[in-house]
Structure formats: structure tokens, C-alpha cells
Amino acid sequence: MRPLATAEIIAVGSELLTPFRIDSNSLFLTRRLNDAGLVVRSKSIVGDDRVVLASVLRAALDRADLVVTTGGLGPTDDDVTREVVAGVLELPLEENPGVLEEIRARFERRRVPMSEINRRQALVPRGARVLDNPNGTAPGLWIDAGQRIVVLLPGPPRELEPMFEAGVAPHLVSPAGARHLRRRVLKITGRSESQVEEIAQPIYSKLGDADVPIETTILASPGLIELHLQAAGPDAALLERRLDEGRTALAAALGSVVFSDDGRSLEAVVGDLLRTRGWRLAVAESCTGGLVLGRLTDVPGSSAWVAGGVVAYANDVKTGVLGVPAALIAGHGAVSEPVAVAMADGVRARLAADIAVSVTGIAGPGGGSAAKPVGTVVIAVSAAIPAVRTFAFPGDREMVRRHSSAAALDMVRRALLP
Amino acid sequence: MRPLATAEIIAVGSELLTPFRIDSNSLFLTRRLNDAGLVVRSKSIVGDDRVVLASVLRAALDRADLVVTTGGLGPTDDDVTREVVAGVLELPLEENPGVLEEIRARFERRRVPMSEINRRQALVPRGARVLDNPNGTAPGLWIDAGQRIVVLLPGPPRELEPMFEAGVAPHLVSPAGARHLRRRVLKITGRSESQVEEIAQPIYSKLGDADVPIETTILASPGLIELHLQAAGPDAALLERRLDEGRTALAAALGSVVFSDDGRSLEAVVGDLLRTRGWRLAVAESCTGGLVLGRLTDVPGSSAWVAGGVVAYANDVKTGVLGVPAALIAGHGAVSEPVAVAMADGVRARLAADIAVSVTGIAGPGGGSAAKPVGTVVIAVSAAIPAVRTFAFPGDREMVRRHSSAAALDMVRRALLP
């Protein structure tokens, strides 16, 4: 087996050239190719178009050791990948009796007659290795084309991913001396991208110049900053060690704003902290309108540590269901620290929870004022040591809601830290 | 101005070749290029790599009338788009005094000294038109290169989109006789993809053979089926008329499962129906854990028609807060029609709402039994004419939750239909 250093990915399908669909298979493929030490140099998306696909494939074969295509392996005339690849590589297509038998058997099991067009899926370029597809009719193909490898995979992720794991990944095992690629991710909330940069910059410029250079990328979205560390080289164990050191140095410098260095989401971290204490959480939400609860209950097994919550969008729900005194709302406004505290205390008492968090704010576009502009959000935690904070979040309705849900989860996390 | 028929999009940036980031600018660009009658033939994603970008650009120029690049226009060495495009087109790069002045002024307004590296952003290929960037330092470029147009846009959507609208779209106006492209979307819930196909197939095979052929695409996700109709041709008014006829024919055949033919989401449709009646909705959620409320409150202005809701994950919250009799839960189980009805009635009464919906079910992975497997979900509507239904949704936790939230919103919609 030759060492493979570079890869390109070609997604085939006219639906991927509409304004409605995006190719996301390449994220899975990139991760797994990186794991095997390959660098992805380019990705392409083409329609069901023989001429364009042939042109893109030729260019990819000029640049990369491995070309992976996804999609276009179905039985209809629109499915052109098999023929175009065979054409470009100048390999004859031959009907494979074994594959034909598999397809026939599949139809029989489903008690559906096999239609003649499905014979096309049994065509295999001479010399290719067939990749079984237990989850669909289209088999994949591994073609060893002299200096290059071309792998053809079906488009649906539930067919593509198991096929890659079973038929492709084991054949990408790097020979001795090949390049490995390893990664770490630090997740941070409660700081802006530039604040994180300022603290992290001196460290990751050092990491970049070390014996094993570590490449650092910062990704920012509302309420979440991710620092990705990546290193490549021949010695996988050394990469792991250096990445762990880099992760430790960055985590120490950034402090408690780092909530996860093992891939867990903020809601999963909060869940694990609650589970450790045997506590149940309750939530009272106004402007986030269920987002905080939605994130928490997204975690499998969350019924063990989420009691539930109240979405109190209307003021009479704040008073009637949560027991917030109407005078408090009249005196301070619904978006105020006294009201947030009363909401958190109220939901904690009514749901008999051990800890509670409340969110009240102005997500916009309407509802802002000079004193309390859009983005003003108050979050309170009801616990042995209570907390309340007023935030001024930037951005539009969606951004304010996302920032608010992250800040609420983070205040719960901080209240639970040992 | 020449008519432009075909386009390709190249996204530049090494972060887009990681397993974490996807190019989504191309969805906006595809929509707007389609609006101007251009067909996107291929999309590519390349890193900050001069050799690969040059190779991909050359191939794109061979195939398309217009090539749009996004990203790689920043001031650092990693930002290679400007130089590579000038190199491939063999145009000298010249410092543009006007652009330099703009960049300088921008820094001055922010009271930050302009660093020398930012001069690079003032380099303009000879003859190119500069596209102002009111939202960042990197100007865009429109280069008329003989038979081809190359447009360079910055990567951040908040810079790219306004620049495209102001500096690119007006120059893509189709000359007389050029091809237009128009679209309609029908949104459907409560039917599977194959059920929709079965009803729609005879109609859209007719539409495909008409004087103005209409192309139909079906997109399915949990709880939502979209039928996209698309037609292209020289007479925009005729396209609009034929698409309206096609939409009407499909909507009539499919009936009330079509909830939107104007782009609105299911939650927005529900909101409009509530607003018309002057009603307020309350929600009681168990397995969806806030998703239904999160979707409803995602709609700007929803505070006018959402009272709020209760997420009753724990059984004692169902009894304590919603007033579901404990005997009902003991006798029928938390996932049962009597409990769902009591939850909906309870939340409607406690929140003084005009109508309420409840969801209780088993999202998995745990909690299923032979009698009530994972995916069993009961939804009840409390209103003048109440409704309750038991569903068996397929898929994993996330799919069951998404199916359930769509079904709950749809039962509210149906209760509100005139």
C-alpha cells in the first residue's frame, strides 16, 4: 500500500447546486481522512453533468493522491458518477454477477420486483474493488488507478458513513513514516473572540514554533468560542503528548471560561455537574422562550436532572404561574434584576428543584428603550449562593437569544463548580 | 453588457477545509445568481493555497461565463485571492489611491493606526472595478477579463451580501432574450416523502412536459417536506404565471397538509392564525422539552400571541404545576391520551390562554417499552373542539423531537383553520 498524503472530495448531485442544499458529507470525510493523515486540498460540488464532472475529476486527479466522490451512484440516467469515472480513467465497465445478485436479493427481501434500470448499479470498472452497501442498493467502488486512488461512495450519509468505516478507512492505514494528524478542542463561553485572542495569542505563537508545531484556529459563534489545536507529523504518540501540553497551557491561561476540553457541549457539562450532585434543575425563561430548556433536554438522559421549566412570555404568566409580585414588575419592569431573581426563586419553589435559572430580556426587534435597549438581558440563579447579572448582548433577535441561552447555562455551570 | 449564462463559485479559506466549517455563502450567491438567470455549474472550496487556487480558477474559467470567489481578501500573507486571480488573468496589481484612502479613513474612524500590511488591500488588478465595502476593510473587485467576468468578494456574509446587492446584482441584469429563472415552494407537514411523491408525481410529470417545463424537486427533513418548482425561459411573466398554475394544481391535490406556499415557516403560519383571532397560545411540553416554545418564540413579535408554557419533564411537575391528577399518570402512564389532554387543559387554564397544545412522549434512547416503544408521542389540543392523537415517529432522539414539534404546531394550525 502506498502512503497517501493528499485528498480531494467531489460531491455529485444537482440538488447540491440549488440555494437549498449544502454538501455536509465532506465534513465527515474530512475528519476521517485527516484521522488517517491525509490533507484535504480542495472540495468540489458538481451537478449531474457528465462534462463538468469529467473536467473536475481530471483536475482533482492532477492534484491529489486520493479522490473521493459522493453521490450519483443511483440507477437512473441522472446518476453519472460511475460512467464518468470509468471514462476518465479509461476503464471498461463490466456487469459484476456478485453485485447483481446482491441487488436482486435486496429487492426480493423487500418483496419488490427489481426493475431493469437497477442492473446499471452492478456495472463495475475493470479491476475495481466493490464496497458493500448494507443500507442501500448502490455499492461503492475503490479504484486503484496507477498513481491515484479513486473511491466512489453513495450520497446518503447513512449509506456513506458505514461504507467508509468498513471499506475505506481500514485501507488508509498510514504506512510507517506516514504523517498523522491529531486535534484538540477547547470550548469557551463568556468571552469575546478578541478577548480570547489576546490571552491565547502569546501561547499559540509559542506552540506554533515548537519542535512539533501546533496550528491554532479560533471559531466564534454567539455564546461559544472554540480553539482548535492541530498538529501533524510521523509520531502519533508525540503529537498526542504535545497537544495535551498545548491544551493544558491554554486552559490554564484562559481559566474558568473554558468549560470543555473533551468535546462535550455546555449543556452536557451542566448535566454532568448536576448528575454528580444528584440535583434537579428548573428554568424560567422569558426572551429565550424555551431555548435553554430545549438545549438541556437535547442531552440524552436529561430527564434525570431536568425537572422542567416555565416559559413566561406574558407578564401575567410571570405573576400567575411563577408568583412574581405584580408590584415588582410595575416598579422595576419585567426586564430587571428583582424580577429575574423572583422568577428563578419562583420556578425553583414551584417545581421543587434544587437549583433554578431565569432569563428575562429584550431580544428585539421591538421592545427596546433608551434605558433598556434591545440586547438587555437579566439572568438569575436561585441556589444556596444566588447570583444575578445584567448583560448587554450584541446582534439581532437570534444572536441575542443564542447569547442569552449560553450565558444562562454558564451561570448554572459556575454555580455548580466545586 | 454580455448575457451571462453560467457561473461557478470558489470559496477560499483553509478553515473551510476543516471538519468544522462549511461554505454557506454559496447558498446566498446561488439564489441571487439564479434570480439573474445564471445557472451555477460547480462550486469549489480551496484553502489559502496559491497553487490549488490557480488550478481551480483556471478550470472554472474554462467552463463558466462568471466566476465568483469568496474570501481570501484580508491583509495577511494567508490572503491569496487577489494575487492569484491577477496572476491567472495576467493583470498587473496596482495600488489604488482611492481605495488606500478609504482604508486609512476607516482606521481613523476607529482611532486605530493603519498597519502597513493593510496597504495590500488597496492593490487592484489593472482595469478592475472596485466594489465598496461599508462593513469591512477588504474591498471587492469586478474584473472584466475578455470572454469572462471574475468577481472577488470578501468571506464574511455581512460584508459579502450587501456588496453583492450593491455592486454585483445590478450588473447582472439580463439583456433582452436572456434566460430567467423563477421558483415556488410548497411546504408540507404530516405526510411522508413517499406519500407526497405518490400524490404529486402525476401532476409534476405533466408540469415537466408543458410548454414551459417546470422542474420539481422534493426535499424532506423530519416533520417537513418541501416541493420546489422551478422554471427557466426568456419570458419572466409567463414563468410566473405557469409556476402559479403549477403551485395551485399541486396545492389542490395535496390539500390541507400544505401549510405554506409563500415561504413562511409553520410557526409563522400558526402565529398569523392566532393573531387574526386575537388569541393567545400556551404549550405544555414533556419529551420536546421546550422545542415547540423555542420555535414559536423564534418568530419576531410572538409575544403578542404566545402566553408561554410549561416544560414538565418530571411527573411531579405535571401534577404540581399543570394539575394533572397523579391517579391519571399512575393508571395510564405519563405517555397516554388522558395525560396529554389533562396537560393541555391544565396549561390553558393556568396561563389563561385561549388555546393550548401538549406533547408527551418517548424520545429515546431510553424509556421505551414493548407497548410504548421509543417514538411513541401523544399530542393534545385544548380548545372549543379538542383533539388528541397518538403518533409513532421513526428515528433517533433528535428526529423524534423534531417530528413531535412539527406535529404539535400542525395540530394547533388545524384547530385554527377557518
In terms of phi and psi (left: phi > 0; alpha: psi -120 to 50; beta: otherwise), the region of A223 is: left
Contact A82, A137 (CB under 8 A): no
Q: Which residues contact B27 (CB under 8 A, 6 or more apart)?
A: A19, A20, A22
What would the mean pLDDT of A105-127 be, rounded to a whole number?
86
Look at B56 and A59 and tell me if their CB atoms are within 8 Å: yes
Interface test with B, best of A29, A32, A44, A112 (most B CBs within 10 A): A44
pLDDT bracket for residue A216 (50, 70, 90): confident
Q: What is the pLDDT of residue B354?
A: 98
Cβ contacts of A283 on chain B, cutoff 8 Å: 311
| A396 at B interface, C-beta within 8 A | no
B398 with A298: CB under 8 angstroms? yes
CA distance A361 to chain B (A): 12
Answer whether residue A184 shows pLDDT above 60. yes
pLDDT in tens, A65-102: 999 999 999 888 788 999 999 999 999 999 999 999 98
The pLDDT of residue B20? 80
* Average pLDDT in chain A: 92
> Cβ atoms within 10 A of the Cβ of A222, count?
18
Q: Per the CB < 8 Å rule, is B46 touching A42?
A: yes
pLDDT at B1: 55
Please state, in angstroms and rounded to a whole number, the distance separating the CA atoms of residues A11 and A53. 10
How many CB atoms lie under 10 A from the CB of residue B389? 13
Spans of chain B, pLDDT less than 50? none
Residue A188: CB atoms within 10 A of its CB come to 29
In this complex, do B17 and A49 lie within 8 Å of one another by their Cβ atoms? Answer: no
- pLDDT-derived band at A347, boundaries 50, 70, 90: very high
Query: Which of B21, B45, B301 is opposite residue A366, by nearest beta carbon?
Result: B301
The minimal CB distance from A308 to the residues B40, B45, B312 is found for B312
Residues of B in contact with A294 (CB under 8 A): 288-291, 293-294
| pLDDT given for residue A78 in this prediction | 81
Q: Rounded to whole angstroms, how far apart are CA atoms A87 and A127?
A: 14
Average pLDDT over residues A388-404: 92
- Nearest residue to B306 (alpha-carbon basis) of B277, B278, B282, B273: B282
CA A314 to chain centre: 34
Assigned C-alpha cell, B388: 388528541
A·B CB contacts under 8 A: 228
Q: Is A108 exposed, middle or buried (0-12, 13-18, 19+ CB in 10 A)?
A: exposed
Determine the Cα angle at A12 with ends A6 and A13, to 5°.
160
C-alpha distance across the termini of chain B, in Å: 51
Of B236, B318, B290, B385, which Cα lies nearest the Cα of A409?
B290
Asked if A28 lies within 8 A of B19 by C-beta distance, the reply is yes
Q: Return the top range by mean pLDDT from A111-120, A199-208, B129-138, B406-415.
A: B406-415
CATH number, span B266-416: 3.90.950.20
pLDDT band at A293 (very low <50, low <70, confident <90, very high): very high
Give the pLDDT score at A173.
65
Q: B217 and A15 in contact by Cβ < 8 A? A: yes
A298 interaction partners in chain B (CB closer than 8 Å): 289, 397-398, 401
Instruction: Indicate the residue of B298, B313, B321 with minimum beta-carbon distance to A350.
Output: B321
User: Look-up: residue for cell 468578494?
Assistant: B153
- CA of A99, closest CA in chain B: separation in Å? 27
C-alpha span between A91 and A381 (Å, rounded)? 67
Torsion sign over Cα B122, B124, B129, B131: negative
pLDDT band at A192 (very low <50, low <70, confident <90, very high): confident
Give the nearest partner residue to B350 out of A18, A56, A321, using CB atoms: A321
Q: Does A221 touch chain B (CB under 8 A)?
A: no
Residue A135 above 90 pLDDT?
Answer: no
Contact B34 A19 (CB under 8 A): yes
Strand partners, A152: A69, A141
What CA–CA distance (Å, rounded) separates A210 from B78?
Answer: 21
Asked if A15 lies within 8 A of B294 by C-beta distance, the reply is: no
B149 touches chain A (CB under 8 A): no
Please report residues of A whose CB lies closer than 8 A to that of B397.
298, 300
pLDDT of res. A418: 86
Q: Which residues of B touch A59 (CB under 8 A)?
A: 55-56, 59
CATH of domain A6-172: 3.40.980.10
A367: which chain B residues are within 8 Å (Cβ-Cβ)? 303
Shortest distance between the Cα of B278 and any Cα of chain A, in A, equals 14
Q: Cell 409567463 appears where?
A: B238
Interface test with A, best of B53, B58, B187, B313 (most A CBs within 10 A): B313
Average pLDDT over residues A294-313: 94
Range A254-267 average pLDDT: 95
Residues from chain A contacting residue B366 (CB–CB below 8 Å):
300-301
Partners of residue A27 in chain B, C-beta under 8 Å: 19-20, 22
Q: Across the interface, which of B19, B42, B226 has its CB nearest the CB of A44? A: B42
Q: What is the pTM of this model?
A: 0.81
Report, as an integer, the average pLDDT of A293-312: 95
Distance CA A387, CA A412 (A): 9
Considering CB atoms only, which of A62, A293, A307 is closest to B290? Answer: A293
Q: Specify the DSSP class assigned to residue A305.
A: T
A232 confidence band (pLDDT: 50, 70, 90) = confident
Q: Quick count: other Cβ atoms within 10 Å of Cβ B25?
A: 23
Whether B383 has its CB under 8 Å from any CB of chain A: the answer is no
pLDDT at A80: 94
Yes or no: say if A255 and A371 are a contact pair by the CB < 8 Å rule.
Answer: no
By C-alpha distance, the chain B residue nearest A309 is B311
Q: One fold for both B180-260 and B266-416?
A: no
Output the pLDDT for position B175: 55
Query: Is the CB of A352 inside 8 Å of chain B's CB atoms?
Result: yes
CATH annotation of A180-260: 3.30.70.600
For chain B positions 283-302, those within 8 Å of chain A (CB to CB) are: 283, 285, 287-294, 296-298, 300-302
* Distance (Å) from the alpha carbon of B265 to chain A's nearest alpha carbon: 15
Domain boundaries, chain A: 6-172, 180-260, 266-416
**Per the structure block, which three cell numbers stand in for A7?**
485528498
Q: Which amino acid is at A398?
A: E
A44 touches chain B (CB under 8 A): yes
- pLDDT tens track for A27-36: 999 999 988 8
Distance (Å) of CA B249 to CA A142, A194, B204, B238, B257 = 45, 54, 9, 17, 14
Average pLDDT over residues A345-355: 97
Q: Say what the pLDDT of residue B88 is.
A: 97
Q: Annotate B39-77 with three-state secondary structure.
A: EEEEEEEECCCHHHHHHHHHHHHHHCCEEEEECCCCCCC
Please judge whether A308 and B311 are an interchain contact, meaning their C-beta atoms are less than 8 angstroms apart.
yes
* A296 contact residues in B (CB cutoff 8 A): 289-290
End-to-end, the C-alpha distance of chain A in Å comes to 51
Q: Is the pLDDT of residue A57 over 80?
A: yes
Instruction: Name A135's Cβ contacts closer than 8 Å, sequence gap at least 6.
Output: A156, A158, A159, A162, A163
Shortest CB distance from A24 goes to which of B22, B49, B312? B22
Nearest CA in chain B to A395: B158
Give me the interface pTM, i.e. the ipTM.
0.79
At B186, which helix (H) or strand (E)? strand B180-188
- Express each pLDDT in B228-275 by its tens digit: 898 888 888 999 999 999 999 999 999 999 999 998 999 999 999 999
